[in-house]
């Protein structure tokens, strides 16, 4: 079932002029959600939808009383400090809200005058996490990433035998997920150099980013009831950019036998805007598995997944060192890849996660795992970029890096573009590394 409808038409324009400019992230075909308030204020956080360089205050829109029925109920839920109650609604209700917002913001809207009074410039707002994230699951869906990382630890046998059968994942930690702009201190922990006889304690020396797509679950499933792969779209609210910071040296010592622990749970950062699954519909693509590889088991396979399972989301990483910042430089782009390289689809992640009866809840969050394309300029971590720290890379301003240094800011951005569809953007996720606490 395609989610494409008239809200995706490229001919649609908005009376908000900035939404109609070339390469702007938030044209009327996007309409992503976030939680916001005016910068520096003590206002209650509430929902917003982005349009050009402005946002519509959804709490104010709810109180205008322009709507009734499901749309008004959705607006009331979007007025709360977290979007979980909106996410818990049915896909048809999210779609009805999108349709109403599209009409209200379109050129010639009867509601233009009223909505003009409740626009706020994006430059004047600050964000909070868009929802209460109950559980965070981190997948590992990039076979390029899994192979490169595996080859560092097991050169003769990089990919473990389960990889091509199971969408590999582990349960992460949600308490340390924060929204873009929140900086954090370099973590401390136990590390052990290969030649050392004992571990030592101190600041992480191999701090890395992970370029991931974040997936927000909408309506959940009852415990004991699996979500069929073809029902996944009813449960996927939307996506964001996700930097799942990693302490590689801490990970290397602690990860056996139960996997990473403190190397992964000190900070993870999401972009503020949730691009809805419906907004992403035009950029979905056919998904297939190499004939030489194992084909997915029946519960991970369907015609719909093969026809539309993949999402072509362009992903970019920019590094801005402290020196660049002092000199007024925006940073240097070091990676560009697409989510369509993923070995497993989002629908397969949802089907696999629930096949044992595990219940997902509104606001649950999946990390896609680090997304890496096949070439070195498409890798989603410094671990891959530097061959696990063996090769430093030189930036255009002459600085070099092996892993991240204090003062480095990592900025991830994303967008979708395709012939016959509008270009929509994800905004950005940005965070700066502060020195370890003494
Ligand atoms: Ca991760």
Q: Which residues, 6+ apart, have CB-to-CB distance to 238 below 8 Å?
A: 32, 33, 215, 216, 218, 274, 275, 276, 277, 279, 280
Question: What is the 315 CA–ligand 1 centroid distance (Å)?
Answer: 15
pLDDT at 241: 98
Tell how far the Cα of 97 is from the centroid of ligand 1, in angstroms.
Answer: 32
**Mean pLDDT of all residues in the chain?**
97
Distance from Cα 265 to the centre of ligand 1, integer Å: 10
Tell me what the mean pLDDT of segment 339-368 comes to: 98
Q: Ligand 1 centre from 383 Cα, in Å?
A: 13
Closest C-alpha among 38, 436, 15 to residue 202: 436
What residue ranges do the domains of the chain occupy? 6-128, 136-434
Q: For 365-376, what is the mean pLDDT?
A: 96
In whole angstroms, what is the distance from residue 212 CA to residue 242 CA? 5
Instruction: Tell me how far the alpha carbon of residue 387 lies from the centroid of ligand 1, in angstroms.
Output: 18
What's the gap in Å between 252 CA and the centre of ligand 1? 15
Element (H, E) at 337: strand 332-338
pLDDT at 153 over 90: no
Does the pTM surpass 0.95? The reply is: yes
* Average pLDDT estimate for 333-358: 98
In this predicted structure, what is the pLDDT of residue 2?
83
CA of 210 to the centre of ligand 1 (A): 6
Residue 26 confidence class, pLDDT cut points 50, 70, 90: very high
Residue 1 pLDDT grade (very low, low, confident, very high; cuts 50, 70, 90): low
Per-residue CA distances from 10 to 14, 30, 102, 163 (Å): 11, 11, 13, 40
User: Is it the case that residue 9 has pLDDT exceeding 70?
Assistant: yes
- Taking the centre of ligand 1 as the mean of its atom positions, its distance from the CA of residue 224, in whole angstroms, is 27
The structure tokens listed for 380 are: 């989603």
Residue percentage of the chain with pLDDT more than 70: 100
Closest CA to 59 of 42, 70, 39, 44: 44
The contacts of residue 3 (CB under 8 Å, 6+ apart) are 95, 233, 277, 278, 281
Confidence class for position 152, pLDDT limits 50, 70, 90: confident
pLDDT band at 438 (very low <50, low <70, confident <90, very high): confident
From the CA of 88, how far away is ligand 1's center (Å)?
25
pLDDT at residue 371 in the model: 98
Q: Tell me the per-residue pLDDT of 191-207, one tens digit each, with 9 for 90 and over.
A: 999 899 999 999 999 99
Span from the CA of 37 to the centroid of ligand 1 (angstroms): 29
- Per-residue pLDDT at 116 exceeds 90: yes
Q: Determine the average pLDDT of the residues in 180-184.
A: 97
Mean pLDDT of 425-431: 98
Mean of pLDDT values over 214-225: 98
CA atoms within 13 A on the CB side of 212: 26
- HSE (CB half, 13 Å, CA atoms) of 251? 18
Residue 323: predicted pLDDT = 98
| 6-128 under CATH 1.10.357.10, yes or no | no
**pLDDT band at 82, cuts 50/70/90?**
very high
Q: Is 65 helix (H, G, I), strand (E, B) or coil?
A: coil
Which of the residues are catalytic? 145
CA terminus-to-terminus distance, the chain: 55
The correct answer on CATH 3.90.850.10 for the domain covering 136-434 is yes
Q: What is the number of residues in the chain? A: 438
Mean pLDDT of 16-41: 97
42-71 confidence digits (pLDDT tens): 999 999 999 999 999 999 999 999 999 999
């Amino acid at each position: 079932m395609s989610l494409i409808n008239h809200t995706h038409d490229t001919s649609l324009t908005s009376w908000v002029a900035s939404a109609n400019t070339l390469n702007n992230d938030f044209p009327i075909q996007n309409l992503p959600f976030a939680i916001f308030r005016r910068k520096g204020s003590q206002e209650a956080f509430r929902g917003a939808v982005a349009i050009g360089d402005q946002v519509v205050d959804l709490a104010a829109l709810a109180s205008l009383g322009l709507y009734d029925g499901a749309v008004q109920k959705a607006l009331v839920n979007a007025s709360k400090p977290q979007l979980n109650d909106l996410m818990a609604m049915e896909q048809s209700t999210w779609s009805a809200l999108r349709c109403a917002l599209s009409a209200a913001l379109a050129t010639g809207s009867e509601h233009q005058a009223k909505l003009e009074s409740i626009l706020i410039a994006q430059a004047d707002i600050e964000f909070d996490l868009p929802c209460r994230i109950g559980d965070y699951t981190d997948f590992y869906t990039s076979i390029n990433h899994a192979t490169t990382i595996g080859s560092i630890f097991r050169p003769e046998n990089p990919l473990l035998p389960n990889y091509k059968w199971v969408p590999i994942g582990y349960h992460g930690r949600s308490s340390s997920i924060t929204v873009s702009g929140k900086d954090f201190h370099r973590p401390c922990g136990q590390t052990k150099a290969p030649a050392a006889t004992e571990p030592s304690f101190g600041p992480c020396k191999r701090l890395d980013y992970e370029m991931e797509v974040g997936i927000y679950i909408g309506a959940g499933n009852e415990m004991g009831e699996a979500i069929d792969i073809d029902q996944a779209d009813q449960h996927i609210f939307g996506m964001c950019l996700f930097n799942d910071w990693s302490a590689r040296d801490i990970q290397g010592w602690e990860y056996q036998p139960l996997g990473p622990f403190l190397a992964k749970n000190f900070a993870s950062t999401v972009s503020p805007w949730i691009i809805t699954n419906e907004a992403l519909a035009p950029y979905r693509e056919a998904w297939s598995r190499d004939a030489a590889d194992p084909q997915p088991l029946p519960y991970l396979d369907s015609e719909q997944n093969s026809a539309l399972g993949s999402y072509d989301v362009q992903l970019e990483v920019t590094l801005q060192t402290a020196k660049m910042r002092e000199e007024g430089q925006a940073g240097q782009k070091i990676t560009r890849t697409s989510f369509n390289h993923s070995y497993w689809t989002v629908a397969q992640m949802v089907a696999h996660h629930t096949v044992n009866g595990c219940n997902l809840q509104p606001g649950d969050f999946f990390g896609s795992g680090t997304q890496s394309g096949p070439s070195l300029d498409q890798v989603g971590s410094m671990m891959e970029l530097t061959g696990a720290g063996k090769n430093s890379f030189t930036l255009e301003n002459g600085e070099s890096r092996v892993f991240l240094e204090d003062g480095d800011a990592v900025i991830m951005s994303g967008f979708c573009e395709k012939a016959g569809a509008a270009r929509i953007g994800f905004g950005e996720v940005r965070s700066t590394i502060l020195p370890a606490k003494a």
